[in-house]
Amino acid sequence: MSDRVVIAGYVRSPFQPAHRGAFTRMRPDELGGRVVRALIERTGVDPATIEDVTMGCAFPEGEQGMNIGRIVGVLAGLPRTVAGATVNRFCGSAMQAIHSAAGAIAMGNGEAHVAGGTESMSRVPMAGFNFLPHPGLVERYPQIYLSMGETAENVADRWGVTRERQEAFAVSSQQKAAAARTDGRLAAEIVAIDDVVEDGCLRPDTTADGLAALRTAFRADGTVTAGTSSPLTDGATAVLVCSEGYARRNGLEPLAAIRSFAVSGCDPEVMGIGPIQATRKVLERAGIGIAEIDVMELNEAFASQSIVVIEQLGIDPARVNVDGGAIAIGHPLGATGARITGKAASLLRRDGGRFAVSTQCIGGGQGIATLLEAIG
Amino acid sequence: MTTINRVAVIGAGVMGTGIAAQVANASVPVVLLDVVRGGAEAAIGRALREEPEAFMTREAVRLVTTGDLPDALALVAGCDWIIEAVREDVDAKRTLYDDLAQVRGDRSIVSSNTSTIPLCELAPDDPDILITHFFNPPRYLRLLEVVAAAHTRSDAVAAVEAFADVMLGKVVVRSNDTPGFIANRLGGYWIDTAVALAAERGLAIEAADAAISHAFGSPRSGVFGLLDLVGIDLSLHVTRSFDERLAPDDPMRSIARPIGLLEQLVAGGHTGRKGDGGFYRLERDASGKRKEALDLATGTYRPSTRSRGDDPTSAEYARDVVAATLAYAEHVLDEVSGDPAVVDQAMETGYGWRAGPFTMLADRRGAPAPRRPPRRPGIISLRALRQDAEPVRRNRSACLWDIGDGVLCLEFTTKMNALDGAIISLALETLVLCGSDGFRALVIANEAESFSVGANLAGVLLSANVGAWNQLALGVQAGQGAFAALRAAAFPVVAAPAGMALGGGCEICLHADAIQAHAELYMGLVEAGVGIVPGWGGCVQMLVRMTERHGHQGPMPPVAEAFRVIALAQVSRSAAHARELGFLRPTDGITMNRERVLGDAKRRALELADGYRPAAPPPLRLPGQAGAAALRLSIAQRVAAGEALEHDAVVAGALAHVLSGGDADVTTPVELQAVYDLERDALVALLHQDKSLARMEHMLATGKALRN
């Protein structure tokens, strides 16, 4: 069993609201560098033993350009001998970074990788600075460029998710996150950045009445509002992906082993259902059923798609996002995948259970999922 | 000589806050202090919420440092001019001056914004203290009355006057040290007489206000509306102050004011707009807002009706108010100033009268108007020029003036300065004139309230309705051609817009080498609001400006920025805001004083004239169809979200095509002429759209945008 690939460390920056939060003036490469530095310090591993730094980023241009994975490694003070790469699968980028690292380790490409992501939605806008869609494709297949908000409306429409249910879901996410913060259940994963020690997106006083008063954000006669969407967020994440043997030799207690992973495609206009197929694939590959999943971290891009995914997979909602989800905590696009995967692994350690899934939907019509298994 | 680099304002009431904001608007740091804890801070917050806006930009807001008295008094130490705007209480003010003397710098100046207390009571022998009386709101009302005594430091007075003129844009008027100074003395008499006579004769206040504003050419609010604006309680206070200080036989004291009614209003909280209504009030009910007016006889409210005030009773009333007011002006002339032209200036700029009392008297007697004081250096006035000289050229819509030193000035003379064919043709004549006869630069300027509201929509609509498409296309081309020719001319062109510069009025400015704008500039390409796109080079020149600003960021940012400003028909709320929006370049100038705009523009033109060569535009690398596709996707999102209508998407789609450069490819720069052609074709195509024509008709008929 010594060649299993495990997650042996997880840290993230506080998540701050874009344009008005504490990281508005912080470059995403600087933020990523600090988080990776903290991961190395907390795990205490010799940085020279790291093979590669793979950073997810959904819009890798401007300050996020120039192979930000390499830049982050240098900013983190890693030796020049450690390589660096950037991967982009939009919202699935950081989870893809973990998959790439795990796959590389399985192939014998090093024993330890840093995988994570960084995204400043304050400083590099969604769609980037030079959105130049293929004009012919816009004519033939405009869905491929559809805004995320409209896909959330489509999902709500097609699966009949009422505004009231979306708002109840959002209130619950806010309450779970607020309770987790108050009880100190978020502190362990957060790295202080200067004097910023806490998440800034949470709205603990959210009420159903308050949400009901908001106007719809994407479709005049729709059901999705800013309150039932994940906020624009600045943040960075990192996990240590390594072989179980490496972890043992370095005195690390792994959080969880990576059992299987998958990506899938779906219609872009309902990209929010992506996690359904991806999750079914990881379960099938491990030969287990949904009932055996004790912990699920589902990225709450929108309440509408989260509700449909939970329903269609048939998982007990009590096992999903126990410390709150992205609607409350925030969603720095290319960084989120390492938060929810690191979180799922940590929850297996903290709360017990055998299997955990982290999964998310991806713009353009995709899903991505990771199945984790408890060590032990 | 004292120079003013930093200012303090004590007292964060409406006036103090407004004064501080205007100092900050001039890019000068200012300290605002108040005795109420957090009061100054809160006052800035209020100013940011209220209309009309006191601040021109967010940067200006950041120039204000707030503080609480007495702790923060030391902040005045570094201030050269300290403006006192605390409550009208002689003892409180004198105590403050003593406190200030402990902390302020040796060469600093203190002035009081009192409206009622003479300097001889405030500071009988202090050489550092004078009176500077601002009018509300300080950003928009241009009068500043200055009162100094024989013992007041003359360099301090000169420094304050120069700063107020150049930096704050004030018309500075020296007043004698008499109660109410000039404007409020005469204005107070005017208001009280108008109120008393209306009450006595049982006039409806709407009729009285209409008649008065017609007779004096004053703002449409009239006197009752004005009292609501300044506060009826404040007006009573001023009246009492006059009663205390004026001679017993002063005619002001024998006005039969309806004191009982006024006191009843104040006691009931009906102090005006700041209170629960005053002479007018807005009642809200299920059907919306309803305006009510006070019946002076009964003291009760009734639904307000429109009145033109031209019935015989109202007309006679207005004549009597005029006669009494003008007689009072003659009565107090020597006491308040001695110079009739100064009194006129005070009433025109402080109370917005079309002409001051002595000009009105001269008109009635067929005598020449009082001679204006000599112009201060750096000021050029077309109004003065018109009295002594003939234009170099003129036609029915424009004049061309010789403003000296080889500089020509093109002045529009149409209603609202709408642009027409005659203006275009005179603009083209400058191309021949300039470069000959010793002319070497052109300034485009006028002294009207609005620089230009754009092309004459009625003419465009007429041609579209009769299907004169060729004529329309030629008209678009003629404007484009003339403006492009100005851009390419062998002499510099400086545009000097003030007030509104919309549509074509904006486009002619965008073609100038430089803009020297008045700080109060409301500039925008508003064509999208009436269902069309700019067609006189507005799209081209905004692309040029945005390429200068954003070109290094790739092909899309300049296009997206130009698109946002034009598609949303954004209009600047000040010249500084116009610079943020991209209409003005960083090198363009802003003049705070309306009277100085033309002089500053001429100076800029002369700077450019030596060794002038027209600037080459940056190469336009446009994204072509991909850019248009990106913009159309964003429009579709706005339509889906209910933020834009289907026809907005049609107009914005046409604009997207123009700004993206049509079939351009990013590897090859686009010739400006190609974008001019795209713009012309897009405009003419939109003029074929019924919904666009309906928008134009509605705008002409109602002055409002039609959402169809």
Pairwise CB contact (< 8 Å): A145 & B625:
no
pLDDT digit string, tens, across residues A303-341: 999 999 999 999 999 999 999 999 999 999 999 999 999
User: Does pTM top 0.90 for this prediction?
Assistant: no
Q: DSSP secondary structure string, B546-590?
A: HHHHHGGG-SHHHHHHHHHHHHTT-B-SSHHHHHHHTSS-TTSEE
Structure tokens at A57: 């980023």
Pairwise CB contact (< 8 Å): A130 & B628:
no
Pairwise CB contact (< 8 Å): A133 & B641:
no
**Burial of residue A224 (number of CB atoms within 10 Å: 0-12, 13-18, 19+):** buried
Q: How far apart are CA B31 and CA B19, in angstroms?
A: 11
By the 8 A CB rule, do B231 and B271 touch? yes
Question: Would you call A242 a catalytic residue per the annotation?
Answer: no
Structure tokens at B196: 């008393």
Residue showing tokens 């479709």? A219
Pairwise CB contact (< 8 Å): B556 & A138:
no
pLDDT of residue B690: 93
| Sequence ranges of the domains in chain B | 7-174, 183-337+349-365, 382-526+571-609, 625-668+670-702
Average pLDDT by stretches of 10, chain B with 708 residues: 90 96 98 96 94 93 96 94 95 95 94 93 93 95 95 94 96 95 95 95 94 91 91 89 92 91 92 90 81 91 89 94 96 95 94 94 88 80 88 96 95 95 93 85 96 90 88 91 95 97 97 98 96 97 96 94 97 97 97 96 96 91 96 94 94 98 95 96 94 92 89
* SS3 state of residue B249: coil
Pairwise CB contact (< 8 Å): A130 & B557:
yes
Closest CA to A242 of A365, A40, A102: A102
| Alpha helices for A44-128 (secondary structure H) | 68-75, 93-106
Dihedral sign computed on CA atoms, order B358, B359, B364, B367: positive
Question: Would you call A91 a catalytic residue per the annotation?
Answer: yes
pLDDT of residue A1: 40
pLDDT of residue B1: 61
- Please state the rounded mean pLDDT for residues A356-365: 98
Domains B7-174 and B382-526+571-609 equal at CATH topology level: no
Tell me the shortest Cα–Cα distance from B682 to chain A, in angstroms. 20
Work out the mean pLDDT of chain A and round it to a whole number.
97
Which class in CATH covers the domain with range B183-337+349-365? Answer: mainly alpha
Residues 72-131 in A contacting B (C-alpha not used; CB under 8 Å)? 127, 129-131
At CB < 8 Å, which residues of chain B contact A?
553-557, 623-630, 632-633, 637, 640-642
> B559 to chain A: which residues are within 8 Å by CB?
none
> A134 to chain B: which residues are within 8 Å by CB?
626, 629
Specify the DSSP element, H or E, that contains A166.
helix A163-182
Structure tokens at A115: 């995988």
Structure tokens at A128: 């980037």
> B554 to chain A: which residues are within 8 Å by CB?
129-130
Reply yes or no on domain B382-526+571-609 having CATH 3.90.226.10.
yes
Q: Which of B563, B633, B634, B659 to mutate to test the interface with A (most CBs of A within 10 A)?
A: B633
Choosing from A57, A91, A242, A266, the catalytic residue is A91
pLDDT digit string, tens, across residues B533-588: 999 999 999 999 999 999 888 999 999 999 999 999 999 999 999 999 999 999 99
At the topology level, CATH places domain B7-174 in Rossmann fold (3.40.50)
pLDDT of A2 > 60? The answer is no
Q: How far apart are CA B74 and CA B83, in angstroms?
A: 15
B11-48 b/e (C-beta count within 10 Å ≥ 16 → b)? bbbbbbbbbbbbbbbbebbbbbbbbeeebbbebbeebe
By the 8 A CB rule, do A178 and A219 touch? no
Pairwise CB contact (< 8 Å): B625 & A135:
yes
pLDDT of residue B279: 95
